[in-house]
């Protein structure tokens, strides 16, 4: 859908590019990938001890790709193109950790492991782009994100806005343009618990009752049980959609005649 040579590409479907400029768009070379592609792949199989011994000898791992080899693999479809344009989506995950950033001592357990995983993924992503720049040249990088700020564990204060932000398209503008769905904010609650609707702070109510992370390999002997508050929220949301659908069905014939 994002490739211009796709018959059902978005540029034509949504009139993103004027019809007279579509031939120019067809001249461009596109590569759509994710940060996982920047991981150095193993080229030669060898035992663990052999790898450790040879790597310690010269500090270089002869069993995995070099940065240039990785770039050739990822950007093979670009051919001999140079000075490419990079568009990063979800770019709040693409950064290099602040060198002198202090460790966040408040992060423990799963939170710390999650922060370390984010940092490793961010390192792979930004290092991959730097490798592309060194091999092919990068003309400009455009970062896109709905949350353009540093996350916990980045070495920066959490929520600090990226200093390179140059354009902001507000949520309200995105909703009015039909790009983002209208957020649903709970305003009613018949559980009669607390001063605010239960579902307004749902995450705070259910987070301690959800399964802990790191259990992906464990098999469940029974079906998972949702917290009562979460089950209620899902039922409430579904019943609201069901009610609106029934109203639409009841009035559908009248609208079609009009």
d(CA 60, CA 54): 8
**pLDDT greater than 60 at residue 57:** no
Q: Which of 4-8, 117-121, 217-221 has the lowest mean pLDDT?
A: 217-221
Q: How many beta carbons lie within 10 A of that of residue 255, not counting itself?
A: 8
Counting residues of the chain whose pLDDT is more than 70, the rounded percentage is 76
**pLDDT greater than 70 at residue 190:** no
Q: Which is more confident, 168 or 61?
A: 168
Average pLDDT over residues 133-139: 94
> What string of DSSP letters covers 9-65?
-HHHHTT-S-GGGHHHHHTS------GGGGSPPB-S---HHHHHHHHHHHS--TTB-
d(CA 1, CA 9): 4
Residue 181 has what pLDDT? 77
Q: List pLDDT tens digits, range 59-117.
A: 566 778 889 999 999 999 998 888 899 999 999 888 888 877 665 556 777 778 888 88
d(CA 177, CA 211): 38
Average pLDDT over residues 238-252: 84
**pLDDT greater than 60 at residue 32:** yes
Average pLDDT over residues 181-205: 67
Q: Which is more confident, 60 or 56?
A: 60
Residue 18: φ, ψ to 5°: -55, 145
Q: Which position has the token pair 């049980």?
A: 225
d(CA 192, CA 3): 52
d(CA 202, CA 58): 54
d(CA 34, CA 31): 10
Q: Which position has the token pair 């540093």?
A: 150
Residue 214 has what pLDDT? 46
Q: Which is more confident, 134 or 56?
A: 134
Average pLDDT over residues 138-160: 87
Size of the chain, expressed as the number of residues it contains: 258
Map out the domains of the chain as residue ranges.
31-183, 184-258
- Interior/surface letters 104-120, b for 16+ CB within 10 angstroms, e for the rest: beeeeeeebeebeebbe
**pLDDT greater than 60 at residue 216:** no
Mean per-residue pLDDT of the chain: 80
Average pLDDT over residues 5-31: 86
Residue 231 has what pLDDT? 83
Closest CA to 41 of 74, 19, 82, 8: 74
* Measured torsion, CA atoms of residues 110, 114, 115, 116, in degrees rounded to the nearest 10: 100
Q: Which is more confident, 202 or 141?
A: 141
């Amino acid at each position: 859908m994002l490739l211009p040579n796709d018959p059902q590409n978005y540029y034509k479907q949504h009139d993103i590019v004027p019809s007279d400029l579509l031939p120019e768009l067809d001249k461009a070379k596109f590569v759509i990938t994710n940060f996982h592609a920047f991981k150095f792949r193993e080229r030669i199989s060898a035992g663990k001890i052999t790898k450790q011994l040879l790597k310690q000898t010269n500090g270089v791992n002869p069993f995995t790709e070099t940065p240039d080899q990785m770039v050739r693999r990822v950007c093979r479809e670009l051919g001999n193109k140079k000075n490419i344009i990079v568009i990063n989506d979800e770019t709040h995950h693409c950064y290099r950790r602040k060198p002198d950033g202090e460790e966040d001592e408040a992060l423990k357990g799963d939170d710390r492991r999650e922060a370390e995983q984010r940092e490793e993924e961010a390192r792979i992503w930004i290092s991959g782009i730097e490798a592309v720049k060194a091999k092919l040249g990068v003309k400009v990088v455009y970062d896109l994100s709905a949350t353009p700020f540093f996350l916990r564990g980045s070495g920066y204060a959490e929520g600090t806005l990226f200093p390179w932000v140059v354009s902001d398209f507000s949520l309200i503008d995105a909703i009015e343009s039909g790009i983002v769905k209208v957020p649903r904010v709970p305003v009613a609650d018949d559980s009669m618990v607390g001063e605010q609707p239960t579902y307004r702070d749902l995450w705070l109510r259910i987070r301690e009752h959800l399964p802990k992370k790191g259990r992906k390999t464990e098999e469940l002997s029974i079906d998972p049980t949702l917290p009562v508050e979460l089950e209620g929220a899902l039922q409430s949301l579904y019943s609201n959609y069901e009610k609106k659908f029934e109203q639409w069905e009841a009035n559908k014939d009248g609208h079609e005649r009009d």
